[in-house]
Amino acid sequence: MTSTAPATAHAADIGTPAGGRRFVLAVLALAVGGFAIGTTEFVTMGLLPQIAEGIGVSEPTAGHVISAYALGVVVGVPILSFFAARLPRRGLLVGLMGGYAAFNLLSAAATGYGLLTLARFLDGLPHGAYFGVASLVASNLTTPEKRGRAVASVMLGLSVANVVGVPAATWVGQHLGWRAAYVITAALAGLTMLLILAFVPSVPGDKQATGRAEARDFFTNRQVWMTMAAGAIGFGGMFAVYSYIATTVTDVSGLGSGTVPFFLLAFGLGMVAGTWLGGELAAWSVFRSLIWSGIGSTLVMVLFWTVAPFGWWLLPVVFLITAIGSVLVTNLQVRLMDVAGNAVTLGAAMNHAALNLANALGAWLGGLVIAAGLGYRAPALVGAALSVLGVAILLWSATVHRSDQTAAASAAAARDGVRP
């Protein structure tokens, strides 16, 4: 499937080499921000029983703080992107990380359910804008044919967080209290600010862009809406499972609470593998990668439901869920940047709004089926259904794309036929 390439500058335009030490250090600095965000977003799931006990609510109710963060991302992306198109991108990234650090500290200080929910919502506001702008900066630092790998490199920060940051922060939270995990992530956000200032080159915003024009171009684009819907629905299955993984491991698989970090590690390793693979598959076909990852996600969700009662047999399935899901994430990012056309700042960021709608939807639906008495295996079947719907939306977008191309060709032929 073809699409309009985003109108962005690349390495030669901003005076930065498309490789070498400067490129590596710049991408590493951006990836550390992803590491900070990934750690704080996903550690909530690993510590959900402790958080529920600490603020005096049930675990399904505590799951709403996960949804609150996700909704913060959804709200923050269009608002921040509306004002961000013309801003210098390095300064914008530093400001977003500053806000992230502050709201993590507020989460750590929260004394009850209401304040914690508000703090998690506020903490979600910079998330999507950071990843969108960071992906855009990384793609601008290299050649067009390598931009999928550059975007994947930034996203690897989030993936590595699930290998190192989330298990470590979960362990700290279990032993020092769940608040300590948010203090750690605030410190990581502060470190990111220093690294960006030190290593990311100054990249000006688009002086010709306006938030109003970007919003108009972006939100009147049918392919944009279908791509975001595919992400918001198709990726929701992973969060339906992941949100309640701690209790699934202990109550369904029959393992001790000390094994939960190993399952979080499997999630993280799957993310690393899938993010790397997604970057490679983007060079083959972004759209086909999305279709096959959606089909694969459906199958592994059913497998999760099947093997959940069998202890450690669940571990490799957890790995597969996030490996396949991360291929989807990376290629949705590239596709949305493509179909956004000239609304590149908003397009780069809105993928994360869609994915966090998936987070909110998955956590909410998973909590509903658990609260209905269907057990902690049931969210996996919810996830399978969501994956099927995501694939259906992508196939619909392909049909619409072909129809639009046919209509455009017919219109061009008609114009040619009346020329003197």
In a domain, 318, yes or no: yes
Most confidently predicted of 106-110, 161-165, 238-242: 106-110
In a domain, 418, yes or no: no
**Residue 252: how many CA atoms within 13 Å on its side-chain side?**
24
With a cut of 60, say whether residue 418 has pLDDT above it: no
Return the structure tokens found at 192: 């990111």
In a domain, 59, yes or no: yes
- State the residue range of the domain holding 367: 15-404
Query: What sign has the CA pseudo-torsion 403, 406, 408, 411?
Result: negative
Instruction: Report pLDDT for 235.
Output: 83
Return the structure tokens found at 325: 């899901």
Model-level pTM?
A: 0.69
**Does 388 or 347 have the greater pLDDT score?**
388
pLDDT digits (tens, 9 = 90+) for 27-77: 889 989 989 998 888 788 778 888 888 888 887 788 788 878 878 887 887
Return the structure tokens found at 109: 């200080």
pLDDT digits (tens, 9 = 90+) for 128-175: 788 878 877 887 777 666 666 777 778 778 778 877 888 888 888 888
The CATH number assigned to the domain holding 68 equals: 1.20.1250.20
In a domain, 264, yes or no: yes
The DSSP secondary structure of 188-239, one letter per residue, reads: HHHHHHHHHHHHSPP----TT--HHHHHHHHHT-HHHHHHHHHHHHHTHHHH
Instruction: Report pLDDT for 354.
Output: 79
In a domain, 197, yes or no: yes
In the chain, how many domains are there? 1
In a domain, 200, yes or no: yes
Amino acid at 257: S
Residue 11's φ and ψ, nearest 5 degrees, are -50, -45
How far is the C-alpha of 288 from the C-alpha of 241, rounded, in Å?
25
In a domain, 207, yes or no: yes
Contact 232, 358 (CB under 8 A): yes
In a domain, 409, yes or no: no
